[in-house]
């Protein structure tokens, strides 16, 4: 029985995935919960899929851990903090280092915040830093991996107070994560619809609008056009801090024309005729429409 699972007291539960001591060649999950240690064998079927319970099978061990970090599904409780590893060699010795890559076992999923066309967004804990983060995931059955990774690549280039900041990625193997700062008040559209009108007065609305404009101005200075600016894609934090988010349709301006995203993805309701024609005029009407929707 692993000694470190008994010696660590600062967390309610620890989890360790390792080769089984009683059955060499078999892997198991050792789970410490409320002072006791539970062991669960990780099985593998003829198709190479791994599972703890036969009803929930996965292509990789990372997917299995991700699933059980959200749902117990046969375990005494959901997985939370990984047990510490000592003197463990690097897993990817031949791969070039990526300063953005985060060990997925350091990300502890909490609850779902919302969902989109390509995946879901969760509130999570980045254990190493002790901070709450937002994690955007990619659905297993989607073919949008290229777009997902392109969004992460764009976010790596962006550094501005009024743009949601990328903190890291998990792109070595599925499930893929984009990890960003957590905005505690949710999206701007819901914040305005459900907020106190006495607190969100005309001065506050103007303050929010100037923050969005500042973020968009920065994007333009970097030759990027957002293409999906809307109140639902702006996030709010304490003290009415607003940041532009969701760069999935962002286009790079190279002179007079833009790299066009797939037409089916463009938000026709929020984009301008100029934007649909892929010229530099795109952000202006979108910003005006965002302000109109905010004030409704």
Residues forming the active site? 228
Instruction: Give the tokens for residue 258.
Output: 């833009």
Helix residue ranges per DSSP H, the chain: 3-7, 61-70, 145-156, 188-194, 202-221, 273-276, 282-295
Based on DSSP, count helices (H) and strands (E) in the chain, helices before strands: 7, 16
Pairing mode, strands 27-33 and 36-44? antiparallel
Q: Rounded to whole angstroms, what are the CA distances from 272 to 132, 245, 289?
A: 36, 19, 9
Beta strands in 219-287 (DSSP E): 224-225, 234-236, 242-244, 251-254, 257-258
Helix residue ranges per DSSP H, 71-171: 145-156
Residue with tokens 């305005």: 192
Q: Is 146 annotated as a binding residue?
A: yes
Residue with tokens 């892997």: 27
Instruction: Give the tokens for residue 29.
Output: 């999950």
Residue pair 148/160 in contact by the 8 Å Cβ criterion: no
- Annotated binding-site residues read 146
Instruction: List the binding residues for ATP.
Output: 146
């Amino acid at each position: 029985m692993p000694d470190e699972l008994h010696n660590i007291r600062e967390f309610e539960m620890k989890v360790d995935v390792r080769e089984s001591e009683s059955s060499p060649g078999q892997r198991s999950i050792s789970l410490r919960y409320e002072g006791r240690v539970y062991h669960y064998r990780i099985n593998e079927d003829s198709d190479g899929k791994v599972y703890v319970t036969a009803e929930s099978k996965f292509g990789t061990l990372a997917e299995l851990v991700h699933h059980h970090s959200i749902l117990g599904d046969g375990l005494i409780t959901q997985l939370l903090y990984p047990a510490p590893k000592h003197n463990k060699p690097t897993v990817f010795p031949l791969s070039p280092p990526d300063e953005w890559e985060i060990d997925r076992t350091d990300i502890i999923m909490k609850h779902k915040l919302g969902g989109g066309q390509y995946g879901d967004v969760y509130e999570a804990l980045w254990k190493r830093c002790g901070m709450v983060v937002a994690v955007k995931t990619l659905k297993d059955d989607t073919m949008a991996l290229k777009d997902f990774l392109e969004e992460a690549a764009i976010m790596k280039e962006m550094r501005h107070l009024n743009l949601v900041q990328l903190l890291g990625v998990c792109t070595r193997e599925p499930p893929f994560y984009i990890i960003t700062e957590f905005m505690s008040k949710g999206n701007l559209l819901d914040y305005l619809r459900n907020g106190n009108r006495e607190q969100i007065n005309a001065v506050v609305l103007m303050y929010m609008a100037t923050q969005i404009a500042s973020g968009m101005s920065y994007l333009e200075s970097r030759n990027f056009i957002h293409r999906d600016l809307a109140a639902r894609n702006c996030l709010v934090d304490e003290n009415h801090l607003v940041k532009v988010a969701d760069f999935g349709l962002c286009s790079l301006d190279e002179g007079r024309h833009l790299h066009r995203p797939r037409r089916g993805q463009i938000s026709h309701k929020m984009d301008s005729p100029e934007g649909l024609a892929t010229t530099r005029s795109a952000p202006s009407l979108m910003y005006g429409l965002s302000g109109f929707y905010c004030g409704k």
